[in-house]
Structure formats: C-alpha cells, structure tokens
Structure 1
Amino acid sequence: MTTGSVVTATRKAIGFDIGGTKISCGVITDKGDPVETLLPMHTPTDPTGTLDALRTAIQELRGRHPEVSAIGVGAAGLIEWPGGHIRWAPNNSYHDMPLRRLLEDSCELPTVVDNDANVAAWAEQVLSSAPNYMLFLTVGTGVGGGLVLGGELYRGKSGIGGEVGHLIVDPRGNIRCGCGNLGCLEAVASGTALGRYGREAATADPGGTLATLAGDPAKVNGETVFAAALAGDLASRAILRRAGDWLGIGIASLVNVLDLERIVIGGGVAAAGDLLLDSARASLERYLFARAHRRIPEVVAAAQGADAGWMGAGLLALNENAGMPSPV
C-alpha cells in the first residue's frame, strides 16, 4: 500500500419500496451502484404478512451480501420521521405499524422508514445531480410528493409533510378525493383521474378510439388513455393536457412559496412524456408569480425510473448511518 493513501470501503444497504400491489427491493452501494435486485413480491394486506415478506428478503440478501450495514424502506402513507412509524397506509389495510422498531429488533441493523415519494426524491437528488431546491412528484394511482430544500429532504415537524397530492387546487369542484376532501390535486391529475376523464369521453363517443381500445367505455383506465393518445386520438391528448394543466397549477403554487429550481415528475403517468409535461410547463408559467422577472423552473421526467424507490431508500439508510461500520 502506498504510504499515506486512504482506502474507503464500499458500504452497502438493502432498500425496499412497498407499493400498493408489489414490494421491490435490492442491494445498493454508497456510490449509488445497484448490486442485486430481487423479483418483486406481492404486497400482503396485513402487517404481519408485510413484516414477514421484508424479513425473508433481508435474510436472503444478507446471505449473499453479509457486508450490508443498513436497511431502508419507502412506503406509501403517513410515516413519522425519524421513528419510522407508519400511521396510515392508504393502499394497504394496516396502520399504526412501528416498522422501524420491528425490523431493527429482528434484523439488528440500523433501519430508516420514510414516505415512498421522499425516498424516490432522494434517489433523484443523489443519483441525478439534482439542484438543492427540488420537488419530486410521483403521479400514478395517486399523487405523491417529495421536497428537497437546501439539499435535504423536508418532512415538516412530525415527518409527515410534503403531501403535495392533497394540495387544494379546485375547492369549488365536485370531485372528491380518496382522502375525503374536495379539490385535491390527486383528484384531478392522477392516473385515477385520467381513467375517470377517459370513461366520460368514451361514454360520450362510444364509437371512438377510447371505447374501441377498451371494448367497453366502463373499462377505460389511465393506460387506455395513454395508448389512445400515442395513437393520435385527439380526445385522449386533450385529457392529458387537462391533467397537465392541473399539475401546473399545483406546481406553480409550490414554486411561489418555496422558490424551487426543478420539478421532477415520476410514476406511471409520467410515461406520457411531453404529452403531459408540456401542458404542465405552460400552466406553471401561466400561474407563476413575477414570471417576467425570474427564471422559470424546469419540469422534467424522472431519470431513475421504476427502481428509484428502493434505491433511494437504501441510499437514505446509508446517509443517515454514515458513521456505522460494515458488519464484516
């Protein structure tokens, strides 16, 4: 060894992304390199089943990677930070689950548990050289958000801040969100909203592209709208513009308050690309305060794709436990 040289060992963590229907996981290094991924697992609907699934995956991955030094979990719902207590998970039937404590007690590794949008935002921040003031929007079945302010995740006093999907953008509207409120961004700009708009359009034009692709106007969903839009269907493209317009209104409100530099949009709906993003950009510029005297924040598609959740969770675990040595 050369005199005076310093060798820094590569640290590794296991990351999980608990979705409404599947759990993704893998091993990642502190350099951001994925080492191994497991095939997605079906998400159990009860806390015991979920915990068992996580423990089984941890045991399997540690067997091949004994140097793993931390565990990170991203999950939908209200999650207290840093306690890692899942207070409520909207897509699963469990609540009040002290997941961090349960995993640390059984696996004896430092663990972090955070909101799924937060960990995906962290992946974008670390792996994509994102600016220090950024909003990550995950637009899928619902709308989630992760805020990076000053280069750090912002979670609010109790760790449950950043619920961008429940920003009220249409209080006089008649569309009720799954949370019970009227006018949430999620109610008008999510994949669920696209499906609703699509069914309305297909019912009005039963011989049109949307109804034909679905076979029945009642079966139109967000994916049908994407397919029809890519095929050039004008009604479907108008639906994507409508959703993008709502996204832009919500984004403008947040930029006006937080002076963000970049908005990153991920999730299944982001696959529509500029068919959605162009209208979001135009709407943002339309509603932005002092737009003639400031730089317009960029609106871009997420760079990290479907693996952003588990990778971000693993990276967050390593970041929060930077001083912990490898167990081997």
Structure 2
Amino acid sequence: MALFIGVDIGGSKVLAAAVSAEGDVGRVARRTTPGRRVEARLVEDILSEAVAEVADGEPVAGVGIAAAGFVDADGESVLFAPHLPWRDEDVRARLADRWGTVVALDNDANCAALAELRHGAAREVGRQAGDAVVLTLGTGIGGALILGGRLHRGRNGMAGEFGHMQVVPQGAACECGGSGCWEQYCSGNALVRDARERIGLEPTLLERLCGGNPDQLTGPMVTAAAEEGDLVARQAFASVGEWLGVGVANLVAAFDPALVVVGGGVSAAGDRLLEPARTALQRSLVGSPHRVVPPLVRAELGPEAGVVGAAGLVRSAAAGLR
C-alpha cells in the first residue's frame, strides 16, 4: 500500500503522520517548532526528521504540508508566516527535491477544513454543497471557508485569515506586525496570557503546576487546571470563549454559513470553550432572534485534522488533481 504522509506545522509543534485514503491515522511523529527567529532551513530539517520517523524506511508516495502561514494560490510558496521564519519561501519545490517525492502544500486551516469536509464534522455540508466556516485555535487562529461544498482559497490563496482581523483598535501587539488582531484575544497564546495575568490575584492550582513561575505556564497546564475545577483557569477559558463567540458572530454576519467548526489544540477543552462562545455568538450576532444561528461545533478529527487534510491533498496531487 502506498505511503502518504501529512505534516502539520504550527507555531509551537510539528505533527507528522501516515494517513490512509479513508483518513485513518497510523504512525505519528512529533517535534517542537523552533520558532520564527531561526533560519528556514532549520524548520525544514525538523520536518525531514519527522517524515523520516513516520516512513521508518518505507518508500514514500507523497508528503502533504499543512503550514501555519499564507500560502500562494498555486500551493508553491509560503509568502508569510507570523509564527514561522518562512518569508516568500519556495517550500514545496525545495522539499520535493530534498525528499525525492511528490509534495503538496497548503495553509494549515485549509487542510483541516478539507479533512472535516471529507471525513469529519462538515461531511453533511459537503454532501449538500453548503457553506461552512472552519477555525483552528492553536498558537494563533487559522481559518478556512467552504463555499458551495468546496474549499474557497481566494485570489491570492489567502482567504480565511480571520485571525488577523483587527478587533481592538490599538490593541495588543501581534506577531504579524499589526495590533489588536483577533488571535491576540482568542488562541492558545491568549489563553496562557490571560491565566498568567490572573495568577496572584487568588490562590490557584496553576501556581503549583508551573512551579510558582507564571512564565513556565503552558496551554495544557491551563486545560488540566480547568478540568480540576481551578477558578482562574476556568475564567481564562471563559474569556477566550467569549472572544471566540464575538469573532464568530462577525463571520456569520459576513458569510451566513450553515455550520461553524472549531478545531486546533485549544478545542480539546470542548464545551468549556464552546459554551461561552455559543452564548456570545447568540448575543453578538445581528438579528439572531430572527434567523437560524449556525451550530458551533468541535472538529471531529481534533488536532489531527491538519495532517489528515494534508495527506488527502497530496494524494490528489499524486493523482493529477488539485
């Protein structure tokens, strides 16, 4: 059986996996992303390590890359990545030469949307040729649009970059170079920052988890503390969830989709994140009492959606499709 590998690279982690044609995930490799202040080659070295671990000596028929950044419409280059060092980098061709196999490249949220459309929460939208918004909450916010049952990439391949919509004029500085971007208030980074700011105001389990050093606090720590009933952690989730609902209300007003799907690492919190988001969506959406408000649901494929979508993308590329 031909081996196709999906690789999802975000601001904090690399996940690579063998994926079947049915979307089932096999061997998995994980690495830490080195950040955005390193040479691009270092990132590609880490991707190569992860792919080699998954391949485990088997010949690879193709590798799909889901990149947290702006990918051009032809799927050749990463034009800009707020959390990675890629700037106008010909990533696809370079990695294809390095690995000696077919490589396909797209934005990480687009890949997640393709996976949910084919195998997950948006299957029915695909069958009915409907519309949906897909969001990925990780280090930042990724987004994708499904219109008429198909992924919509836009003129430049950059449709769905909702995380960098300005929601607070002159707000928090963003790694994209702007300020007040939505992802500064609704993301894994925002969750940790909110929790850090609350530490010290009252006793909290988070202090023990981070050894009394708020700078060592991580998203999984906040999630674990919230599950244990920690008030500070739950307040942080409530804040991020409310910002999620406010932003989704704007997207629903713009696109009137049948469904909104939320994935990415932060979505692992489930209803602890989504319930405040649903409340804020109902409150913030113009005309909500007089319209059908779309369901706001968790992605079915969870944090593996990106690798599943990327593997599906390269399967299509290997077959001469896009």
Tell me the secondary structure at the aligned position of residue 172 of structure 2: coil
Unaligned ranges ≥5, structure 1: 1-9
1:14-71 CA-partner distances (Å, limit 9, x unpaired): 322123344322333333234x4242245464333444555563697395256x2x43
1:292 aligns with 289
Which residue identity is paired with 1:39? A
Distance 1:107 1:251 in 2: 39
**Is 1:40 the counterpart of 2:45 in the alignment?**
no
Q: Which moved more, 1:38-47 or 1:94-103?
A: 38-47
Aligned runs of 1:1-328 on 2, under 5 Å? 13-34=4-25, 36-43=26-33, 45-54=38-47, 57=51, 61=55, 64-65=58-59, 68=61, 70-107=62-99, 109-128=101-120, 129-131=123-125, 132-171=130-169, 174-205=171-202, 207-216=203-212, 218-219=214-215, 220-323=217-320
Contact 2:146-2:152 at 8 Å conserved across structures: yes
* Corresponding residue pairs, total: 310
Q: Distance in 1 between matches of 2:208 and 2:97?
A: 54
Tell me how far apart the structure 1 counterparts of residues 12 and 226 of structure 2 sit (CA, whole Å): 26
Q: Distance in 1 between matches of 2:7 and 2:28?
A: 10
Distance 2:191 2:172 in 1: 13
C-alpha displacement of 1:85: 0.4
Distance (whole Å) between structure 1 residues aligned to residue 288 and residue 113 of structure 2? 26
Letter in 2 for 1:182: S
Q: Which amino acid aligns with 2:210?
A: A
Q: 1:144 Cα shift?
A: 1.3
- When normalised by structure 1's length, the TM-score is 0.83
Larger Rg: 1
Q: Contact between 2:73 and 2:154, CA under 8 Å: does it hold in 1?
A: no
Q: Secondary structure at the match of 1:203?
A: coil
What is the SS of the residue equivalent to 1:189? coil
Distance 1:51 1:190, change over 3 A: closer
CA distance in 2, matches of 1:315, 1:136: 17
Q: Identity of aligned pairs, percent?
A: 38
Question: What stretches of structure 2 of length at least 5 have no aligned partner?
Answer: none
Q: Secondary structure at the match of 1:260?
A: coil
Coordinate RMSD, CA, aligned: 2.7
In the superposition, relative to structure 1, how do residues 32 and 233 fare at CA in structure 2: closer, same or farther (>3 Å)?
closer
* Counterpart Cα distance in 1 of 2:94 and 2:124: 33
SS at match of 2:27: strand
User: Residue 14 of structure 1 contacts residue 25 of structure 1 at CA under 8 Å; is this kept in 2?
Assistant: yes
